[in-house]
Structure 1
């Protein structure tokens, strides 16, 4: 039973930093020992901060790998890149594709989830489609979009052996509200890529939808006479994704979202593509050609924004800058909130005895200096 002691630093516990030692045993947090604790390994934090690992629920890749074309080995490569940026757990977001390719992606993800951990842990699958509205398809191939079908979802979930944890759907698509009612107890459903009116969006939420995908982006905008889907998700008790790269959302929009929803109902995501971590150039997002200029990813065909090149580590810094709040106020958007959204907060998202020892060391400038998954160092600068 390996025991690792983290000492001489500030540990993020109870939404604040405390000068504690932390003991990890067999991949779990064992507690906060007093002086004289014995361990097989001692990690000197050197006055740095020890925080929960970041969780990214919406990402299409990074470091040259696109999820829709990724083998299990490729997904592990993404995980290693993510670990450098403080991510300890993630969902691979499968863009709308053919049923055959989607099933292939699911098989690769399932294999990667069972492989030895070499970076951020792949916790499951996010299906972005295919039950989405053509008018707000973004980078989704329109000819592959479908009506709501609980049967097709169950086929994908069976192939994944239950690993599909999160799915984005459009409420106005035929059959989607009924589908949500059938599957919401088995998966976290988000609404997005949608021009749904207020009433239809509320019906989806009442049926069990619990989140909104990349809020304010690829969705009908608010009007005082027609609140639309935006009005519904701001008013109702759902959680809201936010891409905090400074491009998808103006800093003022981020602050407004936090003011409307509260800090416990916003989840920071990257929506990153394979270009994350790489220079400007030409890339892929599913079947789409993407051009990245000055770090901004857009479809080559029409200039529509197509994901981001954001990392969780940069999102943390951006949120501190956008809000003017201290890092301890911002951290839950990348840790506790995403864990709660997909029902994994009993194991992840905070530092507490019994939880997974998924940890990140930050220096005073919020740079990631080391990342631990299940108590094992998977990245150190």
Structure 2
């Protein structure tokens, strides 16, 4: 990991930007920000500057992963700071520099325990990929599209319970994956949208009409598979949401 309090230069690699690839260049980084991209031979390298040799590899922006359940033998739902840290460390090895630890449908106590652990890791830091917030997946999902999640833990949507979850996370929840056809889901989607939290359809058996109702309430994303193909009676088109 690049130290934000130290000037760093990355050289000997192909730099990939949004629009082009740059060869024989070097990147100068200060306080966590890129300050210059220049020809390596004209880059001024003062004493004490950390120089990273890219080894003729590619230098790309870090990946931001908004749906991460686990990694390195640990799962976010394991609970505890060390589990979350292990997930962050594992993903950082493969280019992820920031992520949203993602819960799954389990008991209320288990979800709250996981959220508290994520908050602890957010406060302490992981020394690896940065935690940007939380992705709450479930427990407001469809029994028919639950995947590996247990039916006994699936619930109707509740603003009150969501507020308990968000409090446990230190108000870090940024995305909620839910099934818009669940009782209470439209009210929760409306509340999430009003409060700047992304509502995302996933693990849902909703009809086309039910998804449209969710969109009107503030549903903006699709974040998981296990969603039925939907046919509109008006257009005759098949609709399907993908990850």
Global fold match (TM > 0.5): yes
Deviations along 1:125-144, whole A, 9 cap, x unmatched? 11111111111111222122
Deviations along 1:153-183, whole A, 9 cap, x unmatched? 1221122122111110101101101210111
Q: CA deviation at 1:72?
A: 0.6
Q: CA deviation at 1:33?
A: 4.5
In the alignment, which residue of structure 1 is the partner of 2:130?
A: 121
* TM-score normalised to structure 2 length: 0.86
8 Å Cα contact 2:227-2:240 kept in structure 1:
no
Q: Which has the larger radius of gyration?
A: 2
8 Å Cα contact 1:90-1:122 kept in structure 2:
yes
Which residue, 18, 22, 28 being the options, matches 1:23? 28
In the alignment, which residue of structure 2 is the partner of 1:138?
A: 147
Q: 1:135 to 1:36 in 2, by over 3 A?
A: closer
8 Å Cα contact 2:77-2:104 kept in structure 1:
yes
**Counterparts of 2:103 and 2:168 in 1: how far apart (Å)?**
14
In the alignment, which residue of structure 1 is the partner of 2:201?
A: 191
Q: CA deviation at 1:119?
A: 2.1
Deviations along 1:68-106, whole A, 9 cap, x unmatched? 113111111121111222222221111112222211111
In the alignment, which residue of structure 2 is the partner of 1:3?
A: 7
In the alignment, which residue of structure 2 is the partner of 1:326?
A: none
In the alignment, which residue of structure 2 is the partner of 1:231?
A: 239
8 Å Cα contact 1:198-1:232 kept in structure 2:
no
Q: CA deviation at 1:226?
A: 9.0
Matches within 5 A, 1:1-381: 1-19=5-23, 20-33=25-38, 35-39=42-46, 40-184=49-193, 185-214=195-224, 217-223=225-231, 231=239, 233=241, 240-241=242-243
In the alignment, which residue of structure 2 is the partner of 1:254?
A: none
Q: 1:226 to 1:191 in 2, by over 3 A?
A: farther
Q: CA deviation at 1:32?
A: 2.3
* TM-score normalised to structure 1 length: 0.56
Q: CA deviation at 1:44?
A: 2.5
**Counterparts of 2:190 and 2:44 in 1: how far apart (Å)?**
51
How many residues align structurally?
232
Query: Per the alignment, in what secondary structure is the counterpart of residue 218 of structure 1?
Result: coil
**Counterparts of 2:44 and 2:162 in 1: how far apart (Å)?**
50
8 Å Cα contact 1:201-1:232 kept in structure 2:
no
Structure 1: give runs of 5+ residues left out of the alignment. 234-239, 242-381
Q: 1:116 to 1:130 in 2, by over 3 A?
A: closer
4+ runs deviating over 6 angstroms: none
Q: Which has the higher contact order (CA 8 A, sep 6+)?
A: 1
Q: CA deviation at 1:28?
A: 2.5
